[in-house]
Amino acid sequence: MLGVAMSFTAPYLSLFGVERAGMTPLRLGIFMTLIAASGVLASTLAGRWSDASGRHRPLLLAALVAATLGYLCLCVVRDYRLLLVIGIVFIGAGGSAISMVFSFSRAALPVPDPAERVFASATLRTILSAAWVFGPSVGALVLAAASFYGLFLFAAASFATCAIIVWRMREPQGHLGDHTVEDTASEPSASITVPPLTAPGEDAHEDLPEVASANDISRAVAALTLIGLAANATMIVLPLYIVHGLKGSHLDVSVMLGLGALMEIPMMLALGAKSSVLHKPNWLAACAAVHAAYFVGMSLAGTVNVLIPMQILNAFVVAVTSCLGMTYVQDLMPHSPGRATALFFNAARVGSILSGVLSGLLVQAFSFRGTFLICGLLALCALVLFAVPGYRYPLMWRAVRRFASVQSAKLEAKWRTRVPERGD
């Protein structure tokens, strides 16, 4: 029910802001950013409290109730300032429910076998991904039949149903006190579904140092942040681009998102099964290159029909980032798996927070097509960070400086030869 509620609201919240609340792209960006920041803060505080107290259900129920109230308010509220308050207090806080569902599931299923815990978390993640296959399409039908009022009312009912299910479940007595890396890995970000952590196999084709340098780790995290930023900006801009830029329908939005989610599932399963023998930096670099090609194609598309098959490229990006991104950071920090996992999720969360305001500013300044081109530049920067080893950056910088000085000298000499001619 939580996956259904999220798939009903996430694709159409930006359309609601523009079509019903009359938001400008900048105001919409601020609205989406504040919701993302509120969700990150709520998830962090809830995680710390539940880890300290050993109780997960009360805060999960509170988050689900907040989400229910928030979407009920969206049925009637149109004032921008009130929408900001609703977004921060209710919708953002309700967004933390997805991470708390995973932590509550870990507490509700205290099985001793680690493989069973991993299987349970993987099952929940698969269900969430499956909900996105049909959820946007059903949401488009509800939107066509009952407008945003019916859509948000249905979403509120889904959150309330989820709360009733959790209310009827019992929370184990006592504090487990064994928050593992697998539990942390179960906390999904805004648009990334992550498989459980696995140690690299003996036949892994990796060429990584035993302990990577701080620069290597920083480059990997920065590249993942750029990919997450571009991906989250796409989730905000794509529905507006389809409906207002290409004159498509809400059903077109649902078809694209559903197709992407459907293609992600087999890709994730295949990459998850082979992750221990894949060269992760090369795959992540290829992922960034595909992301850049995807954005260039989006900016050049003339009709909605061209965009539909391109969602396979986006599905490849999500699958590779989800399956290999976190384990790559873990490989760079083999002695600190917890810190590595936190860095991965922080990169995704920073990307989700920055994407709101950035997408609003870009759409307002450069239109939809220009926004996609800039997202493509972000993906190219991620490609460079993944593909170019750290020791080459000083060499590249010196080469750029030499090139700039040579060109400057040529321009200066050319200008000096023309000055007497002007005098004559």
| CB-CB contact of 74 with 148 (8 Å) | yes
Q: For residues 259-275, give the mean pLDDT.
A: 78
The more confident residue out of 415 and 375 is 375
**Of 133, 118, 109, nearest to 4 (Cα)?**
133
- Residue 128 pLDDT more than 70? yes
* The predicted structure's pLDDT at residue 342: 62
Band the pLDDT of 84: cuts 50, 70, 90: very high
Please tell me the distance from the alpha carbon of residue 132 to that of residue 139, in angstroms, as a whole number.
Answer: 10
Quote the DSSP letter at residue 324: I
Domains of the chain: 1-171+181-188 (1.20.1250.20), 200-390 (1.20.1250.20)
The more confident residue out of 205 and 86 is 86
- Residue 197 pLDDT more than 80? no
The more confident residue out of 114 and 78 is 78
What digits encode the pLDDT tens for the residues 203-224?
444 444 455 677 888 888 899 9
- Residue 340 pLDDT more than 50? yes
- What's the mean pLDDT when you consider all of the chain? 80
pLDDT over 90, % of the chain: 25
Max alpha carbon distance in the chain (Å)? 95
* The predicted structure's pLDDT at residue 371: 93
* The predicted structure's pLDDT at residue 103: 73
Band the pLDDT of 391: cuts 50, 70, 90: low
| CB-CB contact of 352 with 203 (8 Å) | no
Band the pLDDT of 95: cuts 50, 70, 90: confident
* The predicted structure's pLDDT at residue 337: 63
Band the pLDDT of 189: cuts 50, 70, 90: very low
**Of 311, 321, 303, nearest to 379 (Cα)?**
321
SS3 for 179? Answer: coil
Q: For residues 153-162, give the mean pLDDT.
A: 94
| CB-CB contact of 232 with 191 (8 Å) | yes
9, 65, 78, 282 from 85: Cα distances, Å: 18, 16, 12, 44
- Among 66-75, 141-150, 239-248, 320-329, the least confident range: 320-329
pTM of the predicted protein model: 0.70
The more confident residue out of 393 and 373 is 373
- Among 2-11, 179-188, 242-251, 265-274, the least confident range: 179-188
Band the pLDDT of 183: cuts 50, 70, 90: very low
* Contacts (Cβ under 8 Å, ≥6 apart) of 264: 129, 193, 315, 318, 319, 322
The more confident residue out of 341 and 192 is 341
Band the pLDDT of 155: cuts 50, 70, 90: very high
Please tell me the distance from the alpha carbon of residue 170 to that of residue 20, in angstroms, as a whole number.
Answer: 41
Quote the DSSP letter at residue 171: P
- Among 21-35, 39-53, 202-216, 277-291, the least confident range: 202-216
Band the pLDDT of 152: cuts 50, 70, 90: very high
What digits encode the pLDDT tens for the residues 270-323?
887 777 788 888 999 999 999 999 999 999 988 888 888 898 999 899 888 877
- Among 106-115, 182-191, 325-334, the least confident range: 182-191
| CB-CB contact of 280 with 331 (8 Å) | yes
